[in-house]
Amino acid sequence: MSPLDNPAEFQSALIRWFHSEGKTYPWRETAEPWHILISEVMLQQTQVSTVLNKNFFTKFIERFPTPASIATAPEQEILSAWEGLGYYRRVRNLQKAAIAICENHGGTFPRDYDEILALPGIGKYTAGAVSSFAYDLPQPIVDANVARVFSRLFDFQQRVDSGAGQKQLWQWAEELLSQDNPRIYNSALMELGQQTCTNKAPQCGICIVSEFCSTSDPASLPLKKAAKKTVLVDEFAIFCIDDEKRILLQQESSEKRRAGMWKLPLYDFSETENLPLLSKSTYAITHHKVTLRVFHCSSENLPLTSTPEGLTERWHLISELAEIPMPSPFRKVLDSLLKDHF
């Protein structure tokens, strides 16, 4: 039986299940739209466990409880508050949305769906999520969890990341949306994808809506474009500390994804190959696997070359480092070097 054959029973089954099995998250304990927007932006490309375990959400709303509180905040402050979550364009978009709320809505978060959608950096999913979770308004949502659930329920044999695939998923989301309990229904639909209809090991035997599912091979769905091959990248950084216990850092240019963040200065291998190697580590970013090597360089040997075009280099006191926004891989290696070697 298709969910479309009996939408009311499909909705009821999900809602009953969610009331007994739905997890408790801080963003589910509030109807404050600004806080819900923050949670949605955080969770776009970050796992729930990461946001929870490091208390990112709670700390961020304590620091920026209202749109007005972040609208005029310095860039370095918002980058520092977002440190560890990555994809820093997200927090810049949050600030742009906050500015628009202050300038166009008197600092009050809009209730109208179209006005939410018009905020900078807000897409169809996020606008629907805020509308349903904050205001309990009937707006459909399709995220990765919902796409996976629908692709299996309907045995959808098209790519979910194609234009046609997205159009079909959103159509199902609209047709199956609960008009009476959109907040709980949308939460339940996402939760089903997180808990039961999981990516690699769907638990069909305990699925509350299994009677509505038509696929015989759930693990093969959803269909997507083949993932990009992993690109190997080498980075060569220097660790340089002077007699005043200051460390040389390099600020990323405005065109890069880490714009405004500070890191250990990066140079070509030819400029570091004769320096003592202090550490070697790896980290992943999108489809890249990066090997980061850090070499020791005395302040007397600087500069190795002129500062690379578009970058700023500056000395920072060790006591200031905690307040300086820094990408997690560099923060980790710098903390280790300061602890173990100096």
Local confidence band at 286 (pLDDT 50, 70, 90 cut-offs) = confident
For residue 308, is pLDDT > 80? no
What is the spatial distance between Cα 147 and Cα 141, in angstroms, rounded to a whole number?
A: 10
Considering the domain architecture, whether residues 257 and 167 belong to the same structural domain is answered as no
**DSSP letters along 137-189, please?**
-------HHHHHHHHHHTT--SBTTSHHHHHHHHHHHHHH--SS-HHHHHHHH
What is the spatial distance between Cα 225 and Cα 162, in angstroms, rounded to a whole number?
A: 8
Judge whether 225 lies within some domain. no
Considering the domain architecture, whether residues 181 and 56 belong to the same structural domain is answered as yes
Tell me the residue range of the domain where 78 lies.
3-220
pLDDT digits (tens, 9 = 90+) for 123-157: 999 999 999 999 999 999 999 999 999 999 999 99
**CATH code where residue 257 lies:** 3.90.79.10
pLDDT digits (tens, 9 = 90+) for 215-236: 999 999 999 999 899 999 999 9
Considering the domain architecture, whether residues 167 and 112 belong to the same structural domain is answered as yes
Strands 262-263 and 246-251: antiparallel
Annotated catalytic residue, options 21, 40, 62, 323: 40
Q: How many helices (H) and strands (E) does the chain have?
A: 13, 7
Structure tokens at 7: 């939408």
**Before 329, cis peptide (omega within 30)?**
no
Considering the domain architecture, whether residues 58 and 156 belong to the same structural domain is answered as yes
CA triplet 103, 37, 150: central angle to 5 degrees? 135
What is the spatial distance between Cα 210 and Cα 153, in angstroms, rounded to a whole number?
A: 8
Sign of CA dihedral 301, 304, 305, 308: negative
> By the 8 A CB rule, do 264 and 338 touch?
no
Considering the domain architecture, whether residues 189 and 236 belong to the same structural domain is answered as no
Considering the domain architecture, whether residues 290 and 203 belong to the same structural domain is answered as no
What is the spatial distance between Cα 205 and Cα 202, in angstroms, rounded to a whole number?
A: 9
Stated as kind and residue range, the H or E segment containing 292 is strand 288-296
Number of domains in the chain: 2
pLDDT digits (tens, 9 = 90+) for 30-75: 999 999 999 999 999 889 999 998 999 999 999 999 999 999 999 9
Nearest to 227 by CA among 154, 158, 161, 144: 161
Considering the domain architecture, whether residues 212 and 243 belong to the same structural domain is answered as no
- Rounded to whole angstroms, what are the CA distances from 8 to 2, 168, 249? 12, 20, 59
pLDDT of residue 300: 79
Has 40 been annotated as catalytic? yes
pLDDT digits (tens, 9 = 90+) for 77-99: 999 999 999 999 999 999 999 99
What pTM was computed for the model?
Answer: 0.91
Stated as kind and residue range, the H or E segment containing 237 is strand 231-239
Considering the domain architecture, whether residues 269 and 239 belong to the same structural domain is answered as yes
Q: Dmax over Cα atoms in the chain, in whole Å? A: 76
